[in-house]
């Protein structure tokens, strides 16, 4: 008999039993995308390092322009021009101004920039200012963006392209990140053949290894493929032990039910501690979780659809826990295109396609029996139906998870 836990209980168990490993490695900025920061990153420099103009116009002393207007411009002497990529060498005395391009350095003593649109070049070395400046107007001051000691990114952040930009701005050529988790993947079953073999009578191709490997890569882990193992308890034990010794986590798929041939549960119990056997979800009930120290040993159901959902819902959060990162997934709201039945006393997952019509997002459930890969092919995301819910009527608003 399986002792079934609810999804919430499983996620709580994961948080309680596993903990983030305190490990790090240094990578170059070019290799940092998608990696998990191991420590906070603080700036050591000022950005910008000089006062800059945010407009094309004239740097000047605001006082010299008080009260000016279209009718009575302030007439200032043109002291010179600031060039991009050069310091502000030009000296601007009172009642004078200097041309400054967007992003150019502001000459010392000037306290604002007036946009070129509000000025007039008289061509005789003087500039008419048609709108009064105010101190600070159109300027970014040194250190406005960041200053030495300011935390720019926090530990546990998964580095996105915009973070790489921020790191570049503060001159970080290297960052300290969590080592990628090595995750062993084993498929079990007499009937399985590798993708490149044509299945004989009663055989099917191994779907789970390539699928789980892809999921792990997308997550940022390093999958290690241990291939297909037939339903032989001794062989499977050896392979699982090998994977556990060489990886940070092991995922078996197939043979996870309570049948005589289903050895995964016994093996996980022998190699470590069995934590759970059975989650109240559909598909995906016969799921096993165990541990050898802080190493998760996971037994997924063989049905590819079930394996996919369990991996998404529980394995990825578990791996995230080992890295100390929080997985966030914001669903999109969509209108259900047709009614969906559910009456299982288990949370039900359903793959969907998303379609947009007249600016409205519609979720089209993909109907097929668990185990058929058509449910996964081309799915944009999935919805979850609560275990107490008896079904969803057509046009109801649903949340689609798609990350």
CB of 384 within 8 A of CB of 349?
yes
Distance of alpha carbon 45 from alpha carbon 103, whole angstroms: 18
Q: Between 277 and 295, name the residue whose CB sits nearer to Mg ion.
A: 277
Considering the rule CB under 6 A, would residue 257 count as an interface residue with ligand AMP? yes
Residue 64 vs 206, nearer CB to ligand AMP: 206
DSSP string, 60-124: E-GGGGTT--SSS-EEEEEEEEPPTTS-------TTEEEEE-TTPBPPTT--EEEEGGGEEE-SS
Q: How far apart are CA 8 and CA 388, in angstroms?
A: 14
285 closest CA partner among 343, 225, 232, 344: 344
Contact (CB, 8 A) for 76 and 97 = yes
Q: How far is the CB of 360 from ligand AMP (least distance, A)?
A: 36
Smallest separation, CB 189 to ligand AMP (Å): 5
Of 91-99, 114-122, 255-263, 332-340, the window that binds ligand AMP (rule: CB under 6 A) is 255-263
User: Which residues in the 147-206 window bind Mg ion by CB under 5 A?
Assistant: 189
The entry of ligand AMP, Mg ion, none near residue 375 (CB within 5 to 8 angstroms by kind) is none
Could you tell me the smallest distance in angstroms from the CB atom of residue 302 to ligand AMP? 2
Is residue 208 part of the contact set for ligand AMP (CB under 6 A)?
yes
Sign of torsion over alpha carbons 134, 137, 143, 145: positive
Residue 206, contacted partner among Mg ion, ligand AMP, none, CB below 5-8 A by kind: ligand AMP
Neighbours of 91 (CB within 10 A): 12
Instruction: Enumerate residues 166-205 that contact ligand AMP by CB under 6 A.
Output: 187, 189, 191-192, 204
Q: How far is the CB of 229 from ligand AMP (least distance, A)?
A: 10
Are 36 and 177 within 8 A, CB to CB? yes
Stretch near ligand AMP under the rule CB under 6 A, chosen from 59-67, 154-162, 236-244, 247-255? 247-255
| Long-range CB contacts (within 8 A, 24+) of 355-362 | 360/335, 361/332, 361/333, 361/334, 361/335, 362/334, 362/335, 362/336, 362/337
* 254 touching Mg ion, by CB under 5 A: yes
What x/- string results for residues 83 through 102 when contact with ligand AMP is judged by CB under 6 A? --------------------
List CB contacts of 181: < 8 A, sequence separation 6 or more.
221, 222, 248, 249, 319, 322, 323
Angle at 221 between CA 235 and CA 209, to 5 degrees: 40
Nearer residue to Mg ion within complex by CB, 51 or 231: 231
Q: Is 255 in the site for ligand AMP (CB under 6 A)?
A: yes
**β 52-53/174-177 pair status:** unpaired
The binder of 80, among Mg ion, ligand AMP, none, by C-beta within 5 to 8 A per type, is none
Q: Mapping DSSP to helix (H, G, I), strand (E, B) and coil, where does residue 336 land? A: strand
Measured from the Cβ of residue 152, the count of other Cβ atoms closer than 10 Å reads: 17
Give which of ligand AMP, Mg ion, none residue 301 binds (C-beta under 5 to 8 Å, depending on kind).
ligand AMP
Q: Should residue 53 be labelled a site residue for ligand AMP when binding is judged by CB under 6 A?
A: no
Count other Cβ atoms within 10 Å, centred on residue 188. Answer: 28
Sites for Mg ion among residues 255-284 (CB under 5 A): 255
Q: Which residue is nearest to ligand AMP (CB)?
A: 302
The answer to whether 301 contacts Mg ion (rule: CB under 5 A) is no
How many chain residues bind ligand AMP (CB under 6 A)?
18
Say which residues have a Cβ less than 8 Å from residue 23's Cβ, sequence separation at least 6.
Answer: 38, 178, 179
- Residue from 304, 317, 365, 381 binding ligand AMP (CB under 6 A): 304
- Which residues face 174 on adjacent strands? 28
Task: Output the smallest distance, CB 212 to ligand AMP, in A.
Answer: 9
Residue 254 engages ligand AMP in binding (rule: CB under 6 A): yes
Number of chain residues interacting with Mg ion (CB under 5 A): 4
* β-bridge mates for residue 226, sequence order: none
Question: Site residues (CB under 6 A) for ligand AMP?
Answer: 187, 189, 191-192, 204, 206-208, 253-257, 301-304, 371
Question: Site residues (CB under 5 A) for Mg ion?
Answer: 189, 254-255, 302
């Amino acid at each position: 008999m399986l002792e079934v836990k609810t999804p919430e209980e499983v996620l709580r168990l994961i948080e309680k039993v596993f903990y983030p490993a305190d490990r790090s490695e240094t990578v170059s900025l070019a290799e940092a995308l998608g990696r998990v920061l191991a420590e906070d990153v603080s700036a050591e420099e000022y950005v910008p390092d000089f006062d800059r103009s945010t407009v094309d116009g004239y740097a000047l002393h605001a006082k010299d322009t008080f009260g000016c207007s279209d009718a009575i411009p302030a007439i200032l002497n043109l002291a010179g021009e600031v060039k991009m990529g050069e310091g502000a060498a030009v000296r601007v005395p009172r009642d004078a101004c200097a041309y400054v391009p967007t992003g150019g350095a502001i000459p010392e003593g000037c306290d604002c920039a007036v946009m070129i649109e509000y000025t007039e070049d008289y061509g005789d070395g003087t500039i008419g200012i048609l709108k009064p400046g105010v101190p600070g107007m159109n300027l970014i001051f040194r250190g406005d963006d960041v200053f030495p000691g300011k935390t720019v990114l926090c530990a546990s952040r998964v580095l996105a392209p915009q973070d790489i930009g921020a790191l570049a701005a503060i001159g970080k050529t290297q960052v300290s990140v969590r080592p990628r988790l090595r995750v062993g993947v084993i498929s079990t079953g007499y009937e399985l053949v590798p993708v490149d073999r044509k299945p004989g009578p009663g055989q099917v191709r191994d779907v789970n290894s390539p699928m789980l490997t892809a999921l792990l890569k997308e997550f940022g882990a390093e999958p290690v493929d241990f291939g297909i193992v037939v339903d032989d308890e001794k062989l499977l034990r050896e392979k699982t032990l090998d994977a556990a010794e060489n990886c940070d986590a092991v995922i078996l798929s197939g043979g996870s039910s309570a049948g005589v041939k289903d050895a995964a549960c016994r093996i996980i119990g022998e190699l470590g501690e069995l934590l759970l056997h059975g989650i109240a979800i559909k598909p995906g009930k016969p799921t096993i979780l165990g541990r050898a120290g802080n190493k998760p040993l996971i037994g997924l159901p063989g049905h590819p659809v079930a394996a996919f959902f369990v991996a998404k819902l529980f394995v990825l959060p578990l791996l995230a826990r080992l890295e100390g990162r929080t997985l966030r997934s914001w669903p999109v709201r969509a209108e259900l295109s047709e009614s969906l039945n559910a009456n299982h006393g288990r949370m039900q997952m359903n793959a969907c396609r998303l379609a947009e019509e007249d600016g409205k997002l519609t979720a089209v459930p993909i109907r097929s029996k668990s185990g058929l890969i058509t449910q996964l092919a081309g799915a944009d995301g999935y919805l979850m139906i609560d275990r107490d819910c008896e079904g969803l009527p057509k046009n109801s608003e649903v949340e689609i998870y798609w990350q």
